[in-house]
Amino acid sequence: MNRDAEHSCQVVVTDEDIYQAMKEIPGYLDITVGDFREVYQVAFRNALERLREVIPVARVMTRDVVTVSVAAAAAEVAQRMAEQGVSGVPVLDAEGKVAGVISEKDFLVLMGAGRHRSFMEVVARCLGTRGCVAAPMKAKTAAELMSTPALTVDPETSTARVAELFHAHRINRAPVVDASGRLVGIVTRSDLLRAAGPSEVAP
């Protein structure tokens, strides 16, 4: 990680950039280009580490969440996910609390995906049988499809902690709920990548 940060800032700021900046800033700067570069690199690395550690999930999450209710039919859930272009949705109970999460993987499992829960397993199965493999779930509701209980995080959780949870539980998204259990957003792997990416922190 440190080496990446150093590498990326060497790309971002050259000695010539520093020299030009020193020329633009009026007055004598009591520092050499090399010293400035070193200060910059270490400061940049510190900033990266600080940001990685302490960005609360509330800053990177998606606030406009696509949700479904527990009573929604499988077809309705699928349609909603397709329309909104999302790969997972929180399922809300009658009180508006998060009861579970449905992701593409939950559909894949019902469609016969095996151990790896991969799309290719479904394709392989589909090509080996006749008829639509999605048919068996027609009668199911969101409550039956969802993974429950959902792993939720609160808005103050650090992105670093969320990344750990995603890795440990092999999940790609988590609903963000406030102290009263109300859904305030959703955090996905891509939100975390965006937060950690150099484009967000580079000047």
Partner 1 sequence: MTWVTKLRGAGKSPPRVGLKEIGWSWLGAFLGIAAVALIHFKLLAGTDLLLLIGSFGASAVLIYGAVKSPLAQPRNLLGGHVLSALIGVASYQLLHPWPWLACAVAVATAIACMHLTKTLHPPGGATALIAVIGGDQIHALGYLYALIPAASGALVMLIVALLVNNLAKTQRYPEFWW
- Which chain residues interact with partner 1 by CB under 8 A? 15, 19, 22-23, 26-34
Nearest distance in Å: CB 15, partner 1: 6
Q: Which two tokens stand for residue 3?
A: 């080496």
CB nearer partner 1, residue 15 or residue 156? 15
Alpha-carbon distance of 43 to 46, in angstroms, equals 5
Which stretches of 85-152 are assigned E, i.e. beta strand?
88-92, 98-103
CB nearer partner 1, residue 18 or residue 65? 18
Nearest distance in Å: CB 85, partner 1: 51
CB nearer partner 1, residue 9 or residue 89? 9
Nearest distance in Å: CB 24, partner 1: 9
Alpha-carbon distance of 159 to 193, in angstroms, equals 10
CB 89 within 8 A of CB 80: yes
Nearest CA among 1, 31, 29, 36 for reference residue 15 = 36
Q: Could you count the other beta carbons within 10 Å of the beta carbon of residue 130?
A: 5
Nearest distance in Å: CB 7, partner 1: 19
CB nearer partner 1, residue 11 or residue 29? 29
Helices 15-24/33-54 angle, 10° precision: 100
CB nearer partner 1, residue 24 or residue 83? 24
Three-state DSSP class for residue 62: strand
Nearest distance in Å: CB 42, partner 1: 17
Alpha-carbon distance of 101 to 138, in angstroms, equals 18
